Chain A
């Protein structure tokens, strides 16, 4: 009987029978992983997240040094990326595309923050809990990364556009051309925005002062 013969006899190693060979996702290129993820392979997307989350965290950390918000921003970036995988064109590096999503997520975060200034007027239990968590986060960020925390505290008084430009320019050391690409602005517009943002920042610093470290 053909089927009663052991597999080893017909030339198949035992370990191959127990663990059939699967494509090693960690060895795949981004493009291959994206292709699989587009077809609904969550394992492939998990590998994309594992591969890029440190870079994205590093980028968004400049926007928000508070850990729990930072985790939310990284997560949001990845989910946006998954939902828009079909829009990525292989002509551009996947990393740049993902970075652009992250910058936009950071920009949206600044916009949200400027629309909802911290308020103690809302005294519901949930709001108090959130406020307490934010305070703890802020204290932890001040201890771990005091300079980033201080820079963002100073920039927080500016509108979201200005805050984003200055964050990318000062904290990422990003050239204006790259900022223009990331924000989908023209270079001239980016230069004007940067100039105006610096002027506003000067005024704020003159009014409120700056901590001497």
Chain B
């Protein structure tokens, strides 16, 4: 039992001996110390920037899976709200506003004409779309 303990500690000692050969990284804290002692925010920023310059960008970034996952998990509501947004933005354009107004007016006229009781002269013609002289009105009333 004792020898087992000894072996474990010996392994640790070997590990520590190897660790003693490892070198510390180059560290330069002068800017940080200066920033801390003077309370100068700009020096602090410079110290952080200097630290950042030493950092390396990761070489192996592959976001394909992340992007795919994000697209798959995006709620469908988000798309419809995008369409709604496009429509609302389009309605803000004067041309679109004019077109929509014209459409509403046409619908109003059509509904008024549809509610009018048919006269004897037009009763026979009312069966077909041809009875209406204006083709647009005919389309709006009958849908044909």
Contacts and interface: CB of A to CB of B under 8 A. Distances in A.
Interface in A57-94: 57-58, 60-62, 65, 67, 70-71, 74-75, 78-79, 82
B144 interface: no
A144 B24 CA distance: 9
B30 A58 contact: no
Contact of B32 (A42, A62, A75): A75
Given A171-B20, A173-B20, A71 B29 contact: yes
A46 B16 CA distance: 34
Q: Is the interface of A mostly helix, strand, loop or mixed?
A: helix
Interface string B2-26: 0011001101110110111111111
B80 interface: no
A154 interface: yes
Q: Sort chain B's interface into a size bin.
A: 20 to 34
Contacts of B5: 202, 206
B33 interface: yes
Given A53-B29, A202-B5, A212 B19 contact: no
A58 B24 contact: yes
A158 B15 CA distance: 17
B15 A210 contact: yes
Contacts of B21: 147
A42 B33 CA distance: 10
A177 interface: no
Interface in A39-66: 42, 45-46, 49-50, 53-54, 57-58, 60-62, 65
B34 interface: yes
B42 to A, nearest CB: 15
Interface residues of B, dominant DSSP: helix
Interface string B31-56: 01110111000000000000100000
A205 interface: yes
B62 interface: no
B80 to A, nearest CB: 31
A201 interface: yes
B135 to A, nearest CB: 65
Nearest to A74: B29
Nearest to A81: B33
Given A49-B33, A82-B37, A57 B24 contact: yes
A52 to B, nearest CB: 11
B24 A205 contact: no
A79 B19 contact: no
A42 B30 CA distance: 11
B103 interface: no
Interface of B: 4-5, 8-9, 11-13, 15-16, 18-30, 32-34, 36-38, 51
23 contacts: A54-B27, A57-B27, A58-B24, A67-B27, A70-B24, A70-B27, A71-B29, A71-B32, A74-B29, A75-B33, A79-B36, A79-B37, A82-B37, A144-B22, A144-B25, A145-B22, A147-B16, A147-B21, A151-B12, A151-B19, A171-B19, A172-B20, A212-B11
